[in-house]
């Protein structure tokens, strides 16, 4: 295991469980002294947030800490959130259940991890050949997406807030070249969400593993290939040590949204100003993570290819076309699971059609013009 990864995976869980005993469970205590005798002492909320990430993983693993710092400062210490990485209180894939049941007040992760329980949740992380980060933010915050997400999670006693985006990811790490769809057949690959279902239909076997288990699984042959995020995070995991080819583009996750989830009773127990502070802080990390990945990915890619000999490869057009076709089938199947899933699917696709049309003459036209008109 690479040393950079080891450093944040090994602290025994019990140390943090003990540390968390003091103020968890939504307990309240008077804060400070008030010189005004008639004033009610401000209630202090000490909350716990569990995540699906290895603690302190650059980017998404640090974002919950940033959120916590912001909330403490913005609330003048009235809302304090202690962050626990994957495995500290619950395993990575226990986050949804722990927050839903009120074991802890909050979580940070990605909605597609819960597809076994809530298939339509996958629309709120990533749809293969779906929306980019910019487009996802538009759908969620100005296109009706957030309202549908809240409706979907209400029955699980959860309030969702968008909490980060990595931008377009990489297609992943392989030890064989992918020259045709046949090269995917028989491969066991870590690829979560709808991308995994597409991969299954393409003849592979998709495995859903949390980030912290990827390196060892690939090293020991439990999986043959993996996707994780992109150069900035993949370099830290040391995936170049166990795979030769690094493929792009990330058709499976073109702009995945991460989620902050809050136990609904706990959220409702907050006064309106603390609810607003929490939402604003989550919205800030939602934007900040995208900025961080955008700024850091290229340097990490240069290190991977320049210093570590990674071979960068583009998936062939016919492979992408076949995966795109399967993606449309898989996405349509989710719509048939229940009426709310259909409304989410229909909203997503209607928005996608509109935004794609305008992107042709805006982002895409500009990026093409910038590339093709560059002075030689
Ligand atoms: Ca990914």
Distance 360 CA to ligand 1 centre (A): 26
pLDDT at 231 over 80: yes
- State how far the alpha carbon of 289 is from the alpha carbons of 66, 166, 259, 296, 306, in Å: 10, 7, 12, 11, 25
Q: What is the predicted pLDDT for the residue at 37?
A: 63
The sign of the torsion formed by the CA atoms of 276, 279, 282, 283 equals negative
Q: What is the predicted pLDDT for the residue at 66?
A: 98
Cα 249 to chain center, whole Å? 18
Mean pLDDT, residues 219-244: 97
Distance 166 CA to ligand 1 centre (A): 9
Distance 169 CA to ligand 1 centre (A): 6
Residue indicated by tokens 């839903």: 100
pLDDT at 46 over 70: yes
Give the tokens for residue 55: 């603690």
Mean pLDDT, residues 55-80: 97
Domains in the chain, start-ordered, CATH in brackets? 45-167+255-294 (3.40.190.170), 172-253+308-357 (3.40.190.10)
Using an 8 Å Cβ cutoff, are 247 and 230 in contact? no
Mean pLDDT, residues 89-117: 98
Distance 95 CA to ligand 1 centre (A): 18
Q: What is the predicted pLDDT for the residue at 103?
A: 98
Distance 206 CA to ligand 1 centre (A): 13
């Amino acid at each position: 295991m690479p040393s950079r990864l080891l450093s944040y995976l090994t602290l025994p869980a019990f140390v943090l469980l003990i540390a968390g005993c003091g103020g968890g469970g939504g307990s309240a205590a008077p804060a400070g002294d008030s010189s005004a005798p008639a004033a009610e002492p401000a209630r202090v909320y000490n909350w716990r947030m569990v995540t699906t990430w290895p603690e302190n993983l650059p980017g998404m693993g640090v974002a919950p800490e940033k959120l916590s710092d912001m909330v403490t400062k913005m609330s003048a210490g009235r809302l304090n959130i202690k962050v626990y990485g994957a495995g500290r209180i619950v395993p990575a894939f226990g986050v949804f259940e722990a927050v839903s049941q009120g074991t802890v007040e909050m979580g940070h992760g990605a909605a597609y991890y819960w597809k076994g329980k809530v298939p339509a949740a996958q629309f709120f992380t990533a749809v293969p050949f779906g929306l980019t980060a910019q487009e996802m933010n538009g759908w969620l915050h100005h296109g009706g997406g957030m309202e549908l997400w809240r409706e979907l999670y209400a029955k699980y006693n959860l309030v969702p807030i968008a909490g980060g985006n990595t931008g377009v990811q990489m297609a992943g790490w392989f030890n064989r070249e992918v020259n045709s769809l046949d090269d995917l057949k028989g491969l066991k690959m870590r690829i979560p969400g709808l991308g995994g279902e597409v991969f299954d239909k393409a003849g592979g076997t998709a495995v859903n593993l949390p980030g912290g288990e990827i390196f060892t699984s690939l090293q020991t042959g439990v999986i043959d290939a993996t996707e994780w995020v992109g150069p900035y995070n993949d370099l830290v995991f040391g995936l170049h040590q166990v795979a030769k080819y690094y493929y792009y583009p990330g058709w499976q996750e073109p702009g995945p949204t991460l989620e902050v989830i809050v136990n609904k009773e706990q959220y409702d127990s907050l006064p309106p100003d603390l609810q607003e502070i929490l939402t604003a802080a989550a919205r800030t990390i939602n934007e900040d993570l995208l900025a961080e990945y955008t700024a850091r990915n290229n340097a990490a890619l240069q290190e991977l290819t320049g210093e570590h000999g990674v071979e960068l490869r583009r998936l062939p057009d016919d492979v992408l076309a076949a995966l795109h076709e399967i993606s449309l089938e898989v996405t349509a199947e989710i719509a048939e699971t229940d009426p709310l899933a259909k409304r989410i699917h229909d909203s997503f696709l209607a928005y996608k059609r509109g935004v794609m049309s305008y992107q042709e003459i805006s982002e895409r036209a500009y990026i093409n013009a910038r590339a093709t008109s560059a002075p030689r």
